Amino acid sequence: MDSYNTFQVAQKQVLEAVEILNLNQATRDLLIWPQREFKFTLPVRMDDGSVRVFHAWRIQYNTARGPAKGGIRFYPDERSDTIRALACWMTCKTALLDLPLGGGKGGIACNPREMSERELERLSRAYIRATAPYLGIDKDVPAPDMYTNPQIMAWMLDEFETITQRHHPGMITDKPLQIGGTEGRRDATARGGVISVREACNTFGIQPDTFAIQGFGNAGQRAALLHREMLGGGKLVGVCDSRGGIYNPDGFNVKELVTYKLTHGTVKDFPGSKAIDRDAVLELDVDVLYPAAMENAITQENAARIKARIICELANGPTTPEADQIMNANGLHVIPDILASAGGVTVSYFEMVQDSYKYFWEEHEVHESLDKKLTKAYHTMIEAMREKKVHPRMAATVVAMARVAEACELRGWV
């Protein structure tokens, strides 16, 4: 099996979990494949009058526990197998956090950096025209993902409501506050990750004095700020993004670094920093490492050189199965993506609830509810890890798959 095919990685994780659970063959066959897959070609008129055809997908992996939930990515190299894997992991996230949701994912193969705002709006609306029959608060609820944002969600919501001629604010999440979004969504992914780091530090007696972040987009920037705020300090000594890496053993001024990134589009050449290779950030001698970029960043080639005592996966699928085994054998504690990055979908669920009864919570209420959910899920994973004698990712996957399998069985599917 090719470890670098993202969907094969996800399938391998699920298969190992269902074997530990000793599930029957029909349940195994059901859980390793998506329930529904949709492929679309979207013709979009560009600003120069030409028409380009974009390839797009929406995959609903499993809906036994509730409507599918998952983001929409705008990414040049988007592939169906990547979306399948992400939809699988979303199914695991919602089950692990015990949300009444299933898992899904969508994407369009495009380069948003080369498109104007008007072209992005046309593309966003075209996607909803294609997918509208399969979306809705009781069917499948999208959200932003890589290179999409609340404005794109607003266009998509408007197109859906134009088609249905009804208000459906809960059909999409991470919208602007003015049209049904929720407080606390912007930093939810990072906040959930830092909560899980806090619980790991308390569980294993680790002091999170130094940390590094691979990937400095929204999740990475907010993790940098929240790590210091929620964990009582800590020095950010290494950071990288797609254009380079930087290092300072004395630590960066996080607020200045975030401002620099937002102004210059990169952390490269930040004043007072030493330039290092992007991949070298992963191997810094720190207490906590946040992989917050792309899939398959930590592999069997570099896993043995990872020194961080806690690895908090804010990205989806940053670690291959072989790397998991190596880091576990070396005594490192990996907080898997299906837990560490589940803050986003958890607060998206809160947004759906608020949209349904048209009453919105204060930000501190969202933070408190998120903290309770993440804390409970973390310790459920630890209990499974100790009971099954497996590494954290497998423990989390076992908990999630047991819940999904139970729902499938209760429905009479298997």
- Reduced to 3 states (helix: H, G, I; strand: E, B; else coil), residue 182 is coil
Contacts of 366 (CB under 8 A, 6+ apart): 182, 183, 184, 185, 188, 347, 350
From the list 105, 261, 268, 373, the catalytic residue is 105
33 vs 260: CA distance, rounded Å:
43
Cα 136 to chain center, whole Å? 21
Q: How far apart are the first and last CA of the chain?
A: 27
- Write down the H helix ranges in 132-246: 150-164, 188-204, 218-230
Pairing mode, if any, of strands 210-214 and 288-291? parallel
- Reduced to 3 states (helix: H, G, I; strand: E, B; else coil), residue 66 is coil
Pair 182, 361: CB distance under 8 Å: yes
Strand order in the sheet with 333-335: 274-276, 244-247, 235-241, 210-214, 288-291, 310-312, 333-335
Q: What is the 3-state secondary structure (H, E, C) of 375-388?
A: HHHHHHHHHHHHHH
398 vs 382: CA distance, rounded Å:
11
Give, in order, the Cα–Cα distances in Å from 245 to each of 83, 216, 268, 298. 28, 10, 6, 16
- Reduced to 3 states (helix: H, G, I; strand: E, B; else coil), residue 67 is coil
Torsions phi, psi for 105 (to 5 deg): -165, 155
Active site residue 105: yes
Residues designated catalytic:
105
